[in-house]
Amino acid sequence: MIGFDLDSSESAVDLADCFSSVYAVVGIHPHDAANYGGATEARIRDLAVHPRVVAIGEIGLDYHYDLPPRDIQANVFRAQVELASEFELPVVIHCRDAYKDTLDVLEGWAGHVRLGGVMHCWGGSAGEAERALALGFHLGFGGVVTFKNAGETRDIAVPFHWIE
Ligand SMILES: [Zn+2]
């Protein structure tokens, strides 16, 4: 169960407590970055040490909707990557129309943290996919891969899913 704000993160942990097959991911989505403050971070920290929390997410950057200003999104993204690093948890990344800046932030952490995780609903270029894979990330492919104009996304997905 993936959280995207404080309420959904707490619900994810509650569900993980109820069902042995469910694990929780806690974090603040870029759409909600304007609400991230000391109290929110303190609560995420409390949740992050729960034994059934396996990652920090969804976190990242969204330049498609651009709801909070980009500098606020970036600060909140960096703060949560730092938190994941501190707790040695992987991350679940939300990224839309912001692959360069997202990968720049993640590459800034490469080498001195055990960073990795999932970049869900991949929509970046082949070159950006190589950068993400070099960082040890898994790429998630969603419904976008079926869109008529998503030829590059399909080309990226094919080798990892259908050829072996
Ligand atoms: Zn997302």
Structure tokens at 53: 């929390």
Q: Which helix (H) or strand (E) holds 94?
A: strand 91-96
What is the CA(58)–ligand 1 centre distance, in A? 6
What pairs with residue 101 in β-bridges?
none
Q: What is the tally of structural domains in the chain?
A: 1
Q: How far apart are CA 9 and CA 38, in angstroms?
A: 16
pTM summary value: 0.92
Asked, for residue 106, whether it belongs to a domain, the answer is yes
List the CATH number of the domain containing 69.
3.20.20.140
pLDDT digits (tens, 9 = 90+) for 29-81: 999 999 999 999 999 999 999 999 999 999 999 999 999 999 999 999 999 99
Asked, for residue 96, whether it belongs to a domain, the answer is yes
Query: Which pLDDT score is estimated for 20?
Result: 96
What is the CA(19)–ligand 1 centre distance, in A? 24
Query: Which pLDDT score is estimated for 112?
Result: 57
Domain that holds residue 121: 6-160
Asked, for residue 1, whether it belongs to a domain, the answer is no
What is the CA(137)–ligand 1 centre distance, in A? 15
Asked, for residue 143, whether it belongs to a domain, the answer is yes
What is the CA(21)–ligand 1 centre distance, in A? 22
Asked, for residue 137, whether it belongs to a domain, the answer is yes
Q: How far apart are CA 113 and CA 56, in angstroms?
A: 14
